[in-house]
Structure 1
Amino acid sequence: MTETDDAITQLITDHIVPGASWAVLAPDSVATHVAGMAQVLPTAEPLRPNMAYDLASLTKVLGTTTVFLQAVEEKRVTPDAALADFIPGFHQPTTFRQALTHTSGLEGYIPHRDSLPAKALKAALIEAMQVTGECDRQVVYRDVNLLLVGWALETIYGAPIQDLIETRVLTPLGLSGASFHPDPAQCVPTSYDDTTQRVRRGLVHDPKSAILGAHSGAAGLFATLGDLVRFSEFVFGTRQAAAFPALAYRDLVRDQTKNGLGRTLGWDLRQGAGALWLYHTGYTGTFWLLQPQLQRGLIVLTNRVHPRVNLDFLARRDEIVAGFLASASSPA
């Protein structure tokens, strides 16, 4: 066991998460681990290999960003094209690049957001967003950025974004355990309702994505550890498929903001081992680090929202990421 493995195992021991599935990727090896429980309430259930997790915002990078990069390779769009050219009713000057790097500065208040039906929520998000002084000056992570990118891609390809992700990413790349409509019995539960004594299982945890359904490119995807390992191998170039936008991905590992704010298209960036790493997190307790040139990575899937949200997880996650990057920088 490495220090990273020990740190993740300690999350379970300290009851920060009920269980975890994780993988450490190296050029010639993939070490996978499954430990702990899938759920602790209302009854205890052990975590099994190949269970699907609610990926939360990892949907943004595995799904929506990949479809966008496909569109770039097909010359249907450029990063600096305006979203307003593809989204009826959206009149802000925001570009795909600004939305994908979360430097759009878009902000807006929507009353009773989580109680609106899908059509009304989409309309409200399109109409309420206004560009603020944060634009190109500050990274402010907001789901609406990737929702907008997804709606623009719907116009480009003529189908809901989740359908596009299924047909253009999941199926052609062989991500057989990934789905927006998983078998609940194969899913790791998320939240637990004390009143009904029921768990949320196989249904997206994110409220906006639960309302928007097939039209949410911000969350909603369930997948196994094996699916993320397989996708990582496409990023590394050790797997190839016509559907994978390899050329666009090769250009991804660099700061793509206007003022050096440390993000690329879809992904955050971290420094380690003399290189930039692609990085993203998900609210449910998922996080993913990849360095394509070094062919190294870390994938961690947990259910930190079961039985309820654990705020201590965030600092521990950041410690694990920092420790992993430090070990990657150390001589073998």
Structure 2
Amino acid sequence: MEDFSDQINDLIINSIPEVSTLISAGIMKDGEIKYLGFHGGIPELNIYNCDKMLFDLASVTKVAVTSMLVMKLLDAGRIALEDNLKSLGMDIDNISGLTIRSLITHTSGIIGNFPLHLYGRSKSDYLRIISILARDSVMYKKEVYSDINYILLGFVLENIYGKPLDLIAEQELFRPLSLKNTFFNPMNHEMTAPTEIDAARGLIHGTVHDEKAYGLGGVAGHAGLFSNVNDILNYFNAFINYKIISRRTFDLMVKPQNEYLGGIFANGWMVKLPRKRHVSESFGYSYFMGDYSDYYTIGHTGFTGTSVCIDYKNKIIAVLLTNRVYPSRSNDSILRFRRLFHNTVFKNLLT
């Protein structure tokens, strides 16, 4: 029988370049590396994958940075989830009454997606537009996955700490864990995976792919983080071993919050849950975790082709980093590939 590493290697190698030109993966169980692989290349750019390759994590930023910092503040007693934005220094029409809980669980009632970057390129511009978008929002009625929720959380964190989000993340999260390859706005563009060839921006290489984060200078609560497989594995291994937040706060962070809405979100994380008769519009987002992972496995995906999937009860972490949007975001083969990848991981490690 083909061993576990060979199964993962074969799956990845046979998926290049159809799924992505570059695919890095790492799998850990009980703190032990079970698989590390760095495959693919872009010969026309003289780029070949290796262990140092940095990937644009896109929305994985939400759980790696933003919700993690929120829970650290909660852990320290500096905020409560029911605190509203006005109490945290953001007294803005239609936004001030929104709570941290409504933002972190995607129940703020704010529209799911809106091209903020087309209407401004600053924090004040974004807040002005969000104030308009939030005019008719009602909290806790629906689960609607929205970048805007996490853009606002990023602004809240900057208000509380009095410094930019990238500096907060470095000081509070990455430096204490000695992570050397996790940051916003990487300096070494040569060691980053290119993303899209964009009509307006040209080849996006070393700068954030997400347009809304790009409009904020590459640093935002919903996207912008870059990292490699080794750092991400070590980071989330520290997380599940209560080295970032306490066990009590960890349990709260991963506990489903929106089941009354047929939803899947905990405090930041997507959670694999049994399907109910009535489900939220975002319920299917958890399908990437596959068929063999246990219920209550947590995870998150990123638009660029990244994902993290964690069975914290069995201490399994699966990290998949790709640049599936190169050369075009129209390639959606990653949707099927993620499920195949996680099926292979959990079928082998749980059975």
Displacement of 1:270 in angstroms is 1.5
Equivalent in the alignment of 2:263: 261
Q: How many residues align?
A: 323
Counterpart of 1:168, as a letter, is E
The match for 1:226 is 230
Distance 1:231 1:135, change over 3 A: same
Structure-1 separation of matches of 2:132 and 2:204: 30
Offset, 1:112: 7.1
Q: Equivalent of 2:240, from 224, 236, 239? A: 236
Contact 1:161 1:214 in 2 (8 A): no
How many percent of aligned residue pairs carry the same amino acid? 25
TM-superposition CA deviations, 1:123-144 (whole Å, max 9, x none): 3344223265774343221110
Residue in 2 that maps onto 1:71 = 73
Q: Secondary structure at the match of 1:287?
A: strand
- Structure 1 distance, partners of 2:313, 2:135, is 36
Deviation at 1:51, TM superposition (A): 1.0
The answer to whether the aligner puts 1:316 opposite 2:336 as a matched pair is: yes
Q: TM-score, normalised by structure 1?
A: 0.87
8 Å Cα contact 1:70/1:245 also seen in 2: yes
Which digits, 9 at most, give the CA deviation of each residue in 1:247-291, with x for residues without a partner?
322332221226252210111112565441111001111011012
Superposition map of 1:152-191 within 5 A: 152-182=156-186, 183-191=188-196
Which amino acid letter does the alignment assign opposite residue 268 of structure 1? M
Whether contact under 8 Å (1:180, 1:222) holds in the other structure is: yes
In the alignment, the residues of structure 2 paired with residue 17 and residue 113 of structure 1 have an alpha-carbon distance, to the nearest angstrom, of: 27
Distance change in 2, residues 1:211/1:113 (3 Å): closer
Residue 85 of structure 1 corresponds to 87
Cα displacement (A) at 1:235:
1.8
Q: Distance in 1 between matches of 2:133 and 2:117?
A: 13
5+ unaligned residues in a row in structure 1: which ranges? none
2:312 corresponding residue in structure 1 = 292
Matches within 5 A, 1:144-155: 144-155=148-159
Matched residue, 2:56: 54
The answer for unaligned runs of 5 or more in structure 2 is 274-291
Measured after TM superposition, the shift of residue 297 of structure 1 is 1.7
- Moved beyond 6 Å, runs of 4+: 108-112
What whole-Å deviation, never above 9, does each CA across 1:169-219 have from its counterpart, x for those lacking one?
1111211101213111221111125799x6321111111111112651111
Letter of the 2:251 counterpart: R
> Is contact 1:59-1:218 (8 Å) kept?
yes
Q: Indicate whether 1:251 and 2:252 are aligned.
A: yes
Q: 1:108 to 1:226 in 2, by over 3 A?
A: closer
Distance 2:267 2:158 in 1: 18
Q: Does 1:22 align with 2:25?
A: yes
Corresponding residue of 1:205: 209
Q: 1:220 to 1:68 in 2, by over 3 A?
A: same
What is the deviation of 1:325? 7.0
Per-residue CA deviation, residues 230-252 of structure 1 (Å, 9 max, x unaligned), is 11211221xx64xx113322332
- 1:151 to 1:90, Cα distance in 2 relative to 1, 3 A: farther
